[in-house]
């Protein structure tokens, strides 16, 4: 929130993410795949952490039964030090504009929790096929 207005995640194109990953400080950027595990297992961005998109995980986040840091660390099997992360990039199947999603959509819930925890949160725009090019 800035000046009383909800800012929301900034959109990020695939080429911008590629540039971030080429930089030396890419370890300070956490990439979160919010697609179902089956899609993640089929293909994903190298280094991404899959948090899934289940109703159970969404409910636990909404009820603060799990913190977003705990969720990411568990999903990464403790291989990610979230205290070093300055920015987070989230992607799903094809969201182009988070404002078009229902407030209780998994991606919206996840982004809201991430924005309260990390200084810079972005949503990778476009669909998976476009990103694979």
Is residue 3 situated within a structural domain? no
Beta strands in the chain (DSSP E): 10-12, 29-33, 49-50, 87-91, 120-124
Is residue 5 situated within a structural domain? no
CATH of the domain at 93: 3.40.250.10
b/e map of 3-19 (b: 16 or more CB within 10 Å)?
eeeeebbeebebeebee
The residue range of the domain holding 73 is: 10-130
pLDDT tens digits for 77-93?
867 777 778 899 999 98
Can you tell me the distance from the alpha carbon of 133 to that of 115, in angstroms, rounded to the nearest whole number? 29
Q: What are phi and psi of 90, to 5 degrees?
A: -110, 140
Q: Whole-model pTM?
A: 0.85
pLDDT of 109 > 90? The answer is: yes
Is residue 4 situated within a structural domain? no
pLDDT tens digits for 20-49?
888 866 678 999 999 999 999 999 998 899
CA dihedral 70, 75, 79, 81 (to 10 degrees): -30
């Amino acid at each position: 929130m800035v000046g009383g207005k909800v800012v929301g995640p900034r959109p990020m194109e695939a080429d911008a993410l590629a540039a971030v990953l080429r930089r030396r400080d890419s370890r300070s950027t956490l990439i979160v795949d919010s697609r179902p595990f089956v899609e993640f297992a089929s293909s994903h961005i190298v280094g991404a952490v899959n948090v899934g998109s289940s109703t159970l995980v969404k409910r636990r986040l909404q009820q603060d039964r799990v913190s977003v840091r705990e969720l990411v660390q568990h999903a990464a099997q403790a291989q990610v030090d979230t205290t070093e992360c300055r920015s987070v990039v989230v992607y799903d199947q094809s969201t182009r504009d988070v404002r078009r999603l229902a407030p209780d959509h998994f991606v919206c819930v996840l982004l809201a929790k991430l924005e309260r925890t990390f200084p810079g949160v972005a949503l990778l725009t476009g669909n998976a096929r476009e990103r694979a090019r």
